[in-house]
Structure 1
Amino acid sequence: MSETAMARAARATPPSAARRIRGLSDRAIAWIFVAPTIFLLLAVNIFPLIWTVRLSFTNFRANRPNAEVSWIGLRNYTRILTDDDIWLTMQATAHFLFWTIALQVLIGFALAWLINRKFRHSDMWTTIIVLPMMLSPAVVGNFWTFLYQPQIGLFNYAIAFLTGADPTSFSMIGEVALAPWAIVIVDTWMWTPFVMLICLAGLRSIPDTIYEAAECDRASKWRQFWTLTVPMVLPFLMLAVLFRGIENFKMFDLVVQLTGGGPGNTTTLTSIDLKREAFEKWRTGYASAYAVILFVTVFGLASIYVKALNKVKER
């Protein structure tokens, strides 16, 4: 701001307000700006978390607000950790996490490496590739549900041809063994561009002088890739894995649109199971304990992973 503009602003400030502002320290002014954000964080994040932890030790049901609420201690946690169905749900979630992250990292890095070569019309292809991640999960779910229909589904016809099934009555999302892979394919199609953009940022942050020095040392392209490109892009890859892991752990809307958790419980992830306990069976205390266990699991794994990421960055 120029001196003239500052002078005009000072003259426009009422004398009473100017005296109050001059009487405040920099620390007080900083707290005035930060306080609303802190209040919102407490109201939106911290208070619900504390309330959830409290409810997890009770038999509270949200559909019976006037019923007597009893303190039952760790009974909800014990029931959850000894429930075989919940462990099957955890396995389904782990399967979904592993394969979506693995495919997205491999395909995303490959696409980023190709686009980074700056071939003709590379910007146009980048725009086309990132289109899926701009769509809402509801739109993507409906779109792929249509593609998985027996009459037109390309994947259905391909697998029906390999298995000898009737393609007009075959659907991936209706098969127990193939439904989990159906949602893996859709999530990979939608979010691989996100991983690609992160990897592309990592590749373009590598100075060209490093490759020039490697060529002077007569290092082959293959050796440059493994000793320069991969180690320098590794922090970006790990960051992409962290983001996609957290997001996919709480995946809900896309799976509901595609399979609804079925057939049977083959695609019932922990987020879907939690929703059923909380809003279909109305076991709010039980669902709160479930949510706390999931929160501790994600927070613990993410903390360990971030420490590993920081060590990689320090190398």
Structure 2
Amino acid sequence: MTLSNSSIVDKAAEVAAKATPIPIAIRVRGLSDRSIAWLFIAPAITLLLAINIFPLLWAVYLSFTNFRANRPNAVVEGVGLRNYERVLNDPDIWQAMQTTAHFVFWTILLQMVIGFVLAYLIDHKFRGHAFWTTIVLIPMMLSPAVVGNFWRFLYEPQIGLFAYAVSFLTGIPTTQIQMLGNVSLAPWAIIIVDTWMWTPYVMLICLAGLRSIPDYIYEAAEVDRASAWRQFWSITVPMALPFIMLAVLFRGIENFKMFDMVTLLTGGGPGSVTEVASITLKRQAFEAWATGRSSAFAIVLFVAVFGLANIYVKALNKVKQR
């Protein structure tokens, strides 16, 4: 049986196609969207795991040893839970945790109140609201190092504008206004700076929550002759509450790790009145060189923050489901 010329050509083309490797571009076209997505994000995930998971596991290992970073060649011995026992029974560490809780509470409270008020005002789109929104956002755009040094000069009793402003309002001589050197005022000096810098961040999140409320809900409330105060408490606050709680979560985690601002302003002083947990951890790790004990302290902090955040997220999910 003979084949025509066209059949021979088609057969040859089919054989050649089977023998020729399929180009990569054609093979990629056959992948699903999920496979292509994993192909792109796999390098990033691998890098993040290498940067975050390995140091965490290494810190967990060191927390059960007597390792000291200034003696890398010394014999490393396991000490069991001794480091954790010393951390949990150390009064200095509990004092640092108490100081941290003080900062977290007051900074979050002030930032939530001021941030929500600013968001509420800007949401009403008064004349020039775009300009003032930009002005309010400026502190958040600055580096913590810049903010810390900037406010350190403002707090100077001799040349600082803050001292002159307080002296003008109260009549107290500027030489007596020692914000950073006074045991009672130093914590509040740091709270003021952190509130000034991060209130715009809270304002943005609250503003997103306010802008997400549909207008027809307010229109229906007006039809029912609900007062502005009633609309605020029955519509605005409940519907913006998940965003407010989200801002509390973000700022709580960040303020629990507060380090650079305190270091630049007071260094933990005067005495140890502003020594937060992160500064205590740094001193144990890089001044006392108690690497094993500082690793245990870091793990305790991690577990505390992670546990509290999980509990808070569950409460946030319940609010969202209402």
| Correspondence 1:189 to 2:196 | yes
Residue 251 of structure 1 corresponds to 258
> Is 1:155–1:172's contact at 8 Å kept on the other side of the alignment?
no
1:172 is the counterpart of 2:213: no
1:161–1:167 Cα contact (<8 Å) kept: no
Q: Does 1:198 align with 2:205?
A: yes
Distance 1:299 1:194 in 2: 22
Give the match's secondary structure for 2:270: coil
Q: Percent identity?
A: 73
Within the candidate set 198, 218, 226, 1:211 is matched to 218
Cα-to-partner distance string for 1:80-99 (whole Å, 9 max, x where unaligned): 11111111101100000000
Distance apart, 1:72 and its partner CA:
0.2
CA deviation string 1:25-81 (max 9, x = no partner): 766555433331232122111111111101000010111100011100111110111
- Over 3 Å counting, the alpha-carbon distance change for 1:252 and 1:19 in structure 2 is same
> Which one of the candidate residues 130, 148, 151 is aligned to 2:155?
148
Counterpart residue number, 2:8: none
Asked whether the 8 Å contact 1:235–1:313 carries over to 2, the reply is yes
Worse-matched range after superposition: 160-169 or 213-222: 160-169
The superposition leaves residues 103-156 of structure 1 with CA deviations (integer Å, 9 ceiling, x where unpaired) of: 000000001111111111000000000000000000000000000001133544
Once residues 29 and 252 of structure 2 are traced to their aligned partners in structure 1, the CA distance between those partners, rounded to angstroms, is 49
Give the match for residue 10 of structure 2: none
Name the CA distance, whole Å, in 2 between partners of 1:48 and 1:246: 20
Distance (Å, rounded) in 2 between the aligned partners of 1:91 and 1:164: 34
Counterpart code for 1:172: M
- Structure 2-normalised TM-score? 0.88
Q: Do the aligned partners of residues 19 and 115 (structure 1) sit closer, same or farther apart at CA in structure 2, a change above 3 Å counting?
A: closer
In 2 relative to 1, CA 20–82 (structure 1 residues): closer, same or farther, beyond 3 Å?
Answer: same
Change (3 A) 1:152 1:22: closer
Deviation at 1:218, TM superposition (A): 1.1
1:1-315 equivalent positions in 2, closer than 5 A: 15-18=22-25, 21=28, 29-156=36-163, 166-315=173-322
In the alignment, structure 1 segments of 5+ residues that lack a partner are 1-13
Partner secondary structure for residue 125 of structure 1: helix
Larger radius of gyration: 2
- Match of residue 4 from structure 2: none
Count of aligned pairs: 302
Distance (whole Å) between structure 2 residues aligned to residue 214 and residue 242 of structure 1: 31
> TM (normalized to structure 1)?
0.90
Provide the residue aligned with 2:18 in structure 1.
none
Aligned residue type for 2:291: T
Shift of 1:162: 9.0
Which one-letter code corresponds to 1:232 in the other structure? Answer: M
Distance 1:238 1:63, change over 3 A: same
**1: CA distance, partners of 2:184 / 2:264:** 18
**In 1, Cα distance between equivalents of 2:315 and 2:30:** 47
